């Protein structure tokens, strides 16, 4: 069982990691792994690149992802489940969907942001976009 877990460092994202750990440990399949993905949309930082350079922005987003993934990595290390990490920049839902399709994960697990249904209707949600773009089951954890 190969599970892709999107993590943004939130409490719900950590719950998603713990859910994925339980799924993998409960599976009787030979292949068991979890891949964490952290994606930051750099569209708002494109203007800043002209002042500080693209390397500085890339380093900043990498450090941010490392910080956000630290609790998830600790939980995975403690569980003994085989895992890896992918860090991307770009449109969050698109990057999650591309990786899910390319690597043929069995499941995608996301933590809920907890916005109201009205806010999601007006601005959309990453979860809604991921569900619309992948063929795999998507589990949303609150």
Domains of the chain in sequence order: 2-141 (3.40.50.620)
Report the range of poorest mean pLDDT among 6-10, 117-121, 137-141.
117-121
pLDDT at res. 115 = 46
Q: How many CB atoms lie within 10 A of CB 73?
A: 15
pTM reported for the whole predicted model: 0.88
Mean pLDDT over 122-142 rounds to 84
Residues in contact with 8: Cβ distance below 8 Å, sequence separation at least 6, in sequence order: 38, 68, 111
Q: pLDDT of 37-48, one tens digit each?
A: 999 887 777 777
């Amino acid at each position: 069982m190969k599970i892709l877990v999107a993590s943004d460092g939130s409490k719900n994202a950590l719950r998603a990691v713990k859910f994925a750990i339980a799924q993998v440990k409960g599976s009787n399949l030979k292949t068991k792994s979890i891949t964490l993905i952290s994606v930051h949309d750099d569209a708002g930082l494109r203007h800043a690149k002209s002042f500080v350079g693209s390397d500085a922005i890339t380093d900043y987003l990498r450090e941010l992802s490392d910080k956000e993934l630290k609790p998830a990595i600790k939980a995975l290390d403690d569980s003994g489940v085989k895992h890896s990490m992918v860090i991307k920049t770009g449109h969050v839902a698109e990057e999650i969907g591309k990786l899910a399709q390319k690597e043929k994960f069995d499941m995608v697990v996301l933590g809920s942001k907890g916005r109201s249904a009205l806010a999601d209707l007006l601005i959309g949600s990453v979860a809604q976009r991921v569900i619309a773009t992948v063929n795999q089951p998507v589990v949303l954890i609150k």
